[in-house]
């Protein structure tokens, strides 16, 4: 079965640079979530989108923005990167319309390292 795809899997950036993370949800899933997992931490919810509209917002810094496109893929844009942004970024998807299910299926994550 198709799973959530994230790209890139690894990303190394310098301080103050920008980064774009991409997420491709499971086919027919209409909702995408972004999480940040710091070293030794549990995943922290950043933001979610349902049918291309922002549905919820968590602890996402103002330097970050995200959107969901017409094909339901999502991108997380991170600017003015800081050392503390180094983390594993997960995307998850679920189907809240249609065959409704609150189960979130996670991608493999993008490991961002800021030097």
Residues that bind other proteins (CB under 8 A): 31, 33, 42-45, 48, 50, 55-56, 90, 92, 94, 96, 102-109, 111
**Minimum Å distance from CB 107 to other proteins?**
6
Paired sense of beta strands 110-114 and 10-13, if any: parallel
Nearer to other proteins, 78 or 110 (CB): 110
- Alpha carbon distance 73, 63 (integer Å): 21
Inter-CA distances, 67 with 12, 13, 15, 20, 54, Å:
22, 21, 23, 11, 8
Nearer to other proteins, 14 or 102 (CB): 102
Which residues partner with 77 through β-bridges?
Answer: 20, 65
- Alpha carbon distance 96, 113 (integer Å): 33
Nearer to other proteins, 31 or 64 (CB): 31
Nearer to other proteins, 55 or 67 (CB): 55
**Minimum Å distance from CB 80 to other proteins?**
27
**HEC readout, 69-90:** CCCCCEEEEECCCCHHHCEEEE
**Minimum Å distance from CB 43 to other proteins?**
5
């Amino acid at each position: 079965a198709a799973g959530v795809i994230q790209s890139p899997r690894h990303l190394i950036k310098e301080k103050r640079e920008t980064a774009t993370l991409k997420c491709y949800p499971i086919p027919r899933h209409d909702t995408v979530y972004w999480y940040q997992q710091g070293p030794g931490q549990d995943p922290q919810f950043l933001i979610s989108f349902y049918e291309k509209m922002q549905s919820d917002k968590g602890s996402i810094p103002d330097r970050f923005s995200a959107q969901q496109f017409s094909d339901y893929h999502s991108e997380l844009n991170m600017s003015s990167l800081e050392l503390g942004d180094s983390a594993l970024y997960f995307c998850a998807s679920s189907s809240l319309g249609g065959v409704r299910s609150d189960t979130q299926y996670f991608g493999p994550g993008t490991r961002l390292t800021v030097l």
